[in-house]
Amino acid sequence: MIQKTLMRFAASFTISTFVLLFINIVIWRRLEITFPHIAMVIGALSISLATTISISLFKIQKINSLIATGLGLVPLLAIPFILRRLYGVVIFRFSFVIFIVVALCALTYAIAVIVIAARYKKEEREMNDLLK
């Protein structure tokens, strides 16, 4: 259990680091604004922690899947606030950055929906096997 959680954290940290690197490159190229590396690492750690908690809550088998889905989406709500804290008001007043953030949130939600759909299909197969 702990090893799987650490692997999820490592994977989400890697992905969030690359996403923040991409956002930083876009902002640097368009606005010539640079951000401190330490703040970006702390932001990537925070985002990956929220993502790991969310995935762990999605995968809880002991409670109803709808409740697990709702609980899993709660940590994802923190990600836009973390990004707002990282990039500040100056960056978020530009529309292209807002579109990038919305696209990232939509991507995260789409991944969550795919995970839940796979989970429901698995439960449906198990229920059909029990009926046979």
Domain ranges of the chain: 2-131
Nearest Cα neighbor of 49 from 21, 78, 23, 22 is: 78
Rounded CA separation 26/14 (Å): 19
pLDDT averaged over every residue in the chain: 82
pTM for the model stands at 0.71
Burial class of 30 by CB neighbour count within 10 A (0 to 12, 13 to 18, 19+): exposed
Question: Taking residues 58-64, what's their average pLDDT?
Answer: 77
Give the chain's radius of gyration (CA, Å). 17
Q: Indicate whether 45 pLDDT > 90.
A: yes
In angstroms, the Cα distances linking 11 to 45, 49, 55, 103 are: 11, 11, 12, 20
**pLDDT score, position 90:** 62
Rounded CA separation 52/78 (Å): 12
Query: Per residue in 5-36, pLDDT tens?
Result: 889 899 989 998 998 898 888 888 888 888 88
Name residue, tokens 């990232």: 104
Tokens for 130, please give them.
Answer: 């029990």
Amino acid identity, residue 15?
I
